[in-house]
Structure 1
Amino acid sequence: MTMTTMKTTSTQRFALALTLGAALVAGLSACVPLVVGGAAVVGVGMVATDRRSSGAQLDDQGIELRAAARVRDIANDQMYVSVTSFNRQVLLTGAVGSDADRRRVEDEVSRIVNVRSVVNELTIGASSTFQDRSNDLYITGKVKASLLDAKDIFANSFKVVTERGTVYLMGIATRRETDRATEITRGISGVVKVVRVVEIVSEADLAASQAANQAAAQRGGTGPAPVTSASPSTPSSSSSSSTSRVPLPPMEPLPASGSTSTQPSGNATTSPVR
């Protein structure tokens, strides 16, 4: 999405978010076994404002498409899986019929080239209904619109995924931005829980990356510089073929004031709604 100087209202932004999701709504029937997290809708404008390196963005598209193919190969009538990749970290949401299916999906996805970690949030039981998925799409649109309206965070730092009222925030952000995005999301009607699958970077690292991006733009370069930390991270062996660096591992749990946070499977950090 390209940036413009035209001012839009919250209603307009929310309507735009829902419009972009219209294609998803059309495929929300119970017979659809898998949803890909937007691999084919990344435009030039989003590439230019994304904090991932251009290589990581391309890897994420490939990961989602390959995961779609693999899950389709093993899908059954009790399996509804959504696959979202951000900076080579994959989030699995949805429902399967058994714990064996849950483990099998994770195993298949984890073996895809360039996947460095899998956050398995699949539940065992009946898949969500059409009404559930419609509500989730509505919540996702509201969250995106609210993040866009916030003046103190960069909305493109986060990818939003909603499953039965649980909102997953994926992205590369500072701890302040992550706390702020969580606070905004908690305040939205219909949100049951906020789960953060965020890679934390320092303010200094972020500022250095932005300065590098500006310098590259002045030189006529394309694509953002990857946001990295002074403390080296250790990518998985499957991503060794890529030259793009990755930021720090996902954030440590940040318990909400007055509440007790729980740690789900994988590297997600759960922030219950107050």
Structure 2
Amino acid sequence: MILIANNDARTYTKRPLQVLTLVFALGLSACAPVVLGGAAMTGMVAADRRTAGTQLEDERIELIATNRLNELLGERGHVNVTSFNRRVLITGEVPTAQDRQRVEAAIAQIENVRGVVNDLAVMPNASLGQRSSDSWITGQVRAGIVDARDLSSSAFKVVTERGVVYLMGIVTQREAERVTEIARGVPGVAKVVRVFEIVSEDELRRLVPPPQPTPATAAPASGG
């Protein structure tokens, strides 16, 4: 798998906002489609596009990473680890460049991690006020995705650090552009970083097949 940094990232002109795209090439041959439930949300299937096994693996990676970072940094630094489809996004703050490198190395060595995006800043920890603002931004972006009739909210992970919104998911190019527009419209967003695995519309249909209609239940025969 190759990480492709798009140097031609779109810059929007309505207000100062940078958009950086980090796109992973996704091989679908080893990914079995899974539909969780069968409910539709705003016209699209509300299902995680990862396999059930991959979802559990992402949780395991995050747990191991958290334990390793506690041993490595203790109270020095504020680091968040988000794993999606076994690719790990590292955000937050650490006191030194050496700490930044050590954190990335420790996480890259976790079994089954396929790639690491290290966006740690070397600076003092963000204030509680900043973190509160980041949580609000994340909530607003998620609400905007839920409200969008042409997106499946379960397809995206949203992380915010110091006003920078990180978007993760297995999505089409259309979905990537659409969710970026939603994120950039939230007050307080300084930059949008897209960490997506881009698939075609045909590949998406194989990942998330349409829900099957529920058979109608036959009415009981009335007594004679």
Structure-2-length-normalised TM-score: 0.73
C-alpha deviations, 1:168-215, integer Å up to 9, x for none?
00110000000000011101101110000000010001112222x747
Q: Which runs of 5+ in 1 are unaligned?
A: 1-43, 219-274
Q: What SS does the corresponding residue of 1:103 show, helix, strand or coil?
A: helix
Q: Partner of 2:150 in structure 1?
A: 152
Max Rg structure: 2
2:86 is the alignment partner of 1:88: yes
Q: Distance in 2 between matches of 1:209 and 1:66?
A: 28
Structure in which a larger fraction of residues adopt helix: 1
- Report 1 or 2 for greater relative contact order, CA contacts < 8 Å, sequence distance ≥ 6: 2
For 1:176-195, list aligned pairs within 5 A. Answer: 176-195=174-193
Please report how far the alpha carbon of residue 155 of structure 1 lies from its aligned counterpart in structure 2 after TM superposition: 1.5
Aligned-residue identity in percent? 50
Letter in 2 for 1:64: E
2:153 is the alignment partner of 1:139: no
Letter in 2 for 1:206: L
Q: Distance in 1 between matches of 2:208 and 2:75?
A: 47
Q: Partner of 1:108 in structure 2?
A: 106
Q: Which runs of 5+ in 2 are unaligned?
A: 1-35, 40-45, 215-224
Letter in 1 for 2:163: G
Please report how far the alpha carbon of residue 78 of structure 1 lies from its aligned counterpart in structure 2 after TM superposition: 3.2
Please report how far the alpha carbon of residue 156 of structure 1 lies from its aligned counterpart in structure 2 after TM superposition: 1.3
Q: What SS does the corresponding residue of 1:169 show, helix, strand or coil?
A: strand
- The CA RMSD over aligned residues, in Å, is 1.9
Q: Distance in 1 between matches of 2:89 and 2:190?
A: 18
Letter in 1 for 2:142: K
Letter in 1 for 2:104: E
Please report how far the alpha carbon of residue 157 of structure 1 lies from its aligned counterpart in structure 2 after TM superposition: 1.1
Q: Distance in 2 between matches of 1:78 and 1:111?
A: 21
Of 35, 48, 51, 1:50 maps to 48
Structure in which a larger fraction of residues adopt strand: 2
Q: What SS does the corresponding residue of 2:208 show, helix, strand or coil?
A: helix
Q: Distance in 2 between matches of 1:76 and 1:62?
A: 20
